[in-house]
Amino acid sequence: MALLEVKDLGISFGGLRAVDDFNLEVEKGCLYGLIGPNGAGKTTVFNLLTGVYKPGEGIIRLDGKDITGHKTIEINQAGIARTFQNIRLFKELSVIDNVKVGLHNHNGYSTLTGILRLPKYYRVERQMEEEAMKLLQVFGLDGEAQTLASNLPYGKQRKLEIARALATKPKLLLLDEPAAGMNPNETQELMDTIRFVRKSFDMTILLIEHDMKLVSGICEKLTVLNFGRVLSQGETGEVLSDPEVIKAYLGE
């Protein structure tokens, strides 16, 4: 059974049919790409999957569990974490605190414990500190743990967003244009990081990307969206040589 199953998903904004009859199956452990021209509805699909928008119709199942129309926090707790196209970090918090917010639901103590500084506070905080540092090390951010998130260079901000998403211990990670605004070197580095994350966290990843080098380099399967509809779907090689896809998106 696929980890993520989407059936006949659709949503309209006024008269605009943003996503129509969208079907998707992402197997566990797969690195799946979602591509298409600007305005095709890729980010809308992400927003539907994470509960930012309520689907007009269709069913979304994660690990066999129906999560259609659930709230964003419930969907996160069910196991979907995401990054954003326009970076959304907690800018006035330090790098490590950004990750700790991601760990929030996995390491708990009550408000009173926090205010009174009971022993449990110190124990859980130490544990969170260690977990957060481990994640930061994966992304090479451990040296800047105390820096304010807004003071990080662009490429590192993107990485921190991925680290924060991973901190919520998801089953499925959604990356919305992780390579946007990166130079070729940074993109190459990012590809390595994504591969590493997938291997070491045993993660299933669904990503939106325009950088075809990245897409053809790491994605095993692709779905191409155009005007809210699926244009082509399947193995990366096949999809990229599909004449329809070349005509609508890649260019002849």
Partner 1 sequence: MKKKTMSKNFRSKLITFGIVIAAYLIMQILIGTGNVSSLLKGLLVPLCIYAILAVSLNLTVGILGELSLGHAGFMCVGAFTSAFFSCCVKESGMPPALRFFLAILIGALSAGVFGILIGIPVLRLKGDYLAIVTLAFGEIIKNLVNILYVGRDENGFHVSFTNSLSLNLSDQGQVIINGAQGITGTPSDSNFTVGVLLLLVTLFIVLNLIHSRDGRAIMSIRDNTIAAESVGINVTKYKILAFAVSAALAGVAGVLYAHNLSVLSATSKNFGYNMSIMILVFVVLGGIGSTRGALVASVLLTLLPELLRGLNDYRMLIYAVVLILMMLFNWAPRCIEWREKIMHRIKGRGKETKEADV
The residue ranges that bind partner 1 (CB under 8 A) are 50, 52, 72-73, 76-77, 81-82, 84, 88-93, 96-98, 100-102, 104-105, 107-109, 111, 114-117, 121, 124-126, 128-129, 133, 145-146, 164-165, 167-168
Shortest gap between Cβ of 74 and partner 1 (angstroms)?
9
Question: DSSP letters along 48-88, please?
Answer: HHTTSS--SEEEEEETTEE-TT--HHHHHHHTEEE--SS--
Crossing angle between the packed helical segments 154-167 and 119-138, to the nearest 10 degrees: 130
When the beta carbons of 126 and 247 are compared against partner 1, the nearer one is 126
When the beta carbons of 166 and 218 are compared against partner 1, the nearer one is 166
Shortest gap between Cβ of 166 and partner 1 (angstroms)?
10
**In this structure, what token pair is assigned to residue 179?**
């390579």
When the beta carbons of 98 and 223 are compared against partner 1, the nearer one is 98
Among 63, 53, 25, 38, which Cα is nearest to 210's?
38
Q: How far is CA 25 from CA 28, 248, 250, in A?
A: 10, 23, 24
When the beta carbons of 116 and 212 are compared against partner 1, the nearer one is 116
Question: DSSP letters along 154-191, please?
Answer: HHHHHHHHHHHHHHT--SEEEEESTTTT--HHHHHHHH
Shortest gap between Cβ of 7 and partner 1 (angstroms)?
23
Shortest gap between Cβ of 82 and partner 1 (angstroms)?
6
Shortest gap between Cβ of 126 and partner 1 (angstroms)?
8
- Using alpha carbons only, what angle is made at residue 31 by residues 30 and 34, rounded to the nearest 5 degrees? 125
When the beta carbons of 40 and 162 are compared against partner 1, the nearer one is 162
When the beta carbons of 72 and 183 are compared against partner 1, the nearer one is 72
Cβ-based neighbours of 87, under 8 Å, separated by 6 or more: 154, 157, 158, 161
Shortest gap between Cβ of 101 and partner 1 (angstroms)?
5
